Structure 1
Amino acid sequence: MSSPPELRLLGHFQLEWQAEPVELCRNGQRLLAFVALRRHVSRTVLAGTLWPEVTEEHARGSLRTTLWKLPRGEQPLIRCSGDSLVTADALHVDVHAFTETALDVVQRCGPPVTTGLPQGLLRGEDLLPGWDEEWVRLERERLRQLRLHALDALAEALVREGRPALALEAAWESVRTEPLRESAHRAAVSAHLAEGNLNEAVRHYRSYQRLLREELGVEPSPRFTRMLARHGWRSPGVTPD
């Protein structure tokens, strides 16, 4: 049985067919990436987005030429559906697999106890690095935010499940991605507290407090401070809930 085509957009662009890399011209890469991300897009939107500085007629001509140059196997990578273009059902796109994993974690607030850390969340590869088109930047930021929310939810769930070491791994991935994000630091402190390491929790809190003061001139939220107060640590003006 032939293996289905695979499209990688995280980390770098790579198309594989029959387990072999397939070279595409730059326009072919852009077209396939755009349609794969959207799954279903009209010809007008596609042509206007990829060739915005030419006439509509010229843009549609460039679209037809680029489509014609795409490789064809048992079925095309992109098929027509009326005035729209749709990716082949068999095409596996890593972005969709990542999105499904992240949304599953967010919706369920983490994995069942028997599973480990979802590796797709830990790798943290950017979407098409080096591509500076606006449509790529928007999608890149969407995926970054989704990953951060999934990592926070994963860390919190792992703390509840009694796996603080894995919770710290997830929390630190979020911290490394966005060092000023308080929810990630709260998740790390929760993991320390779950292990009974109040000293580590306070040290982490104070490090984050210094970072906020230096970068933004603000303090951590009262919610964050009360987390430590509930475990016996006292900060001026803050009492446990």
Structure 2
Amino acid sequence: MTATLQLLGCWRLAVSGRAVAVPRRDQRVIAAIALLDPRPRRQLAEILWPDGSRDHAQANLRVNLSDIRRHYPGILADSDPLSLAPGVGVDVASLRLLPSIIDGETECSRLREWLEFARRAELLPGWYETWLDLEQERVRQLRLSALEILGRTLLKYGDADGALSAATIALDAEPWRESSYELQMRAHILAGNRALALRVYESARSMLLRELDVEPAPILSGLAQELRYHGSV
């Protein structure tokens, strides 16, 4: 049996290539086991049900684990601390490995495929649980880093549109990210759109001054200065 667990963009469990319907109460237990370091049952129960008594939390977890093992055999390892079975693939692991994967990739078509993967790589959107907050932030930072690495790599291989897409997705998620503005400017320059590159700089400068009361980083200002005085970079 092969099983894959998708947590980026949405929650989805597939067994032998077929999607499996899983109730939300069991989804959150499987997701917590997948995302958190292996935890003893007692600790995981308290994380998932922090507002009730310890006995109530542990009873809830026992019921959920029994349901999961009965209806989805082979998903969980038979261990304590709790963990997924070794053969279960999780898409978050692919996001963590993406920088090293990109490092050896030379085909723009494959890089574009990874860019599409990174585009939707938001951890369990619409889930609002205290235990998940830190994991969502960690994945957000991984995603932003992966998008910029993808953008710089696409830029290196002459794919200005791909690099621009990577920078724009990153800026949609974090509008103050100056390294993404730099990538956006360089993508426009590669495409021969120097005026658009300067427009990006002016927009970034206006936003940073208005929202944070800071000037752009020297690398952005220097890039804009080169464009103004020399017409190219």
**CA–CA distance in 2 between the matches of 1:74 and 1:227?**
55
* In structure 2, C-alpha distance between the alignment counterparts of 1:170 and 1:5, rounded to whole Å: 30
Q: Extract unaligned runs of 5+ from structure 2.
A: none
The 8 Å contact of residues 4 and 90 in structure 2, kept in 1 or not, is answered as: yes
Pairing 1:140-155 to 2, within 5 Å after superposition:
140-155=136-151
Question: Are 1:116 and 2:111 an aligned pair?
Answer: yes
C-alpha distance in structure 2 between counterparts of 1:157 and 1:16, whole Å: 32
Paired with 2:172 and 2:220, the residues of 1 have a C-alpha distance of 19
| Paired residue secondary structure (2:229) | coil
> Deviation of residue 45 (structure 1)?
1.9
Question: What is the correspondence of 1:31-110 to structure 2 with a 5 Å cutoff?
Answer: 31-38=29-36, 40-72=38-70, 75-81=73-79, 83-102=80-99, 104-105=101-102, 108=103
Measure the CA separation in 1 of the matches of 2:28 and 2:98: 25
Distance (whole Å) between structure 2 residues aligned to residue 26 and residue 177 of structure 1: 27
Per the normalisation by structure 1, the TM-score is 0.82
Deviation at 1:68, TM superposition (A): 0.6
Structure 1 residues 12 and 166: alpha-carbon distance in aligned structure 2, compared to 1, 3 A threshold: closer
- The aligned counterpart of 1:29 is 27
* C-alpha displacement of 1:48: 1.2
Q: How big is the alpha-carbon RMSD for the aligned residues of Structure 1 and Structure 2? A: 2.5
The unaligned stretches of length 5 or more in structure 1 are: 235-241
CA contact (8 A) 2:8 2:120 kept: no
Deviations, residues 191-239 of structure 1 (Å, cap 9, x unaligned):
22233432221111112122222322322122211113234538xxxxx
Partner of 2:13: 15
Aligned mates of 1:80, 1:180 — CA distance in 2: 45
Aligned residues: 227
The structure 1 segments of at least 4 consecutive aligned residues displaced by more than 6 Å after TM superposition are none
Encode CA deviations 1:68-90: one digit per residue, 9 max, x unaligned.
Answer: 11154794311232x31120122
Q: Which residue of 2 aligns with 1:170?
A: 166
Q: Which whole-Å deviations, capped at 9, do the CAs of 1:10-51 have from their partners, x for residues lacking one?
A: 222222334444333333111111001136322122111012
Instruction: Report the AA paired with residue 123 of structure 1.
Output: R
Give the TM-score normalised by the residue count of structure 2. Answer: 0.85
Instruction: State the 1:143 CA deviation.
Output: 0.8
Aligned partner of residue 82 in structure 2, secondary structure: strand
CA gap of 1:218–1:72, structure 2 versus 1, over 3 A, is same
Distance in 1 separating the partners of 2:34 and 2:9? 16
CA distance in 2, matches of 1:158, 1:20: 34
Change (3 A) 1:179 1:84: same
Structure 2 CA distance for aligned equivalents of residues 8 and 139 of structure 1: 15
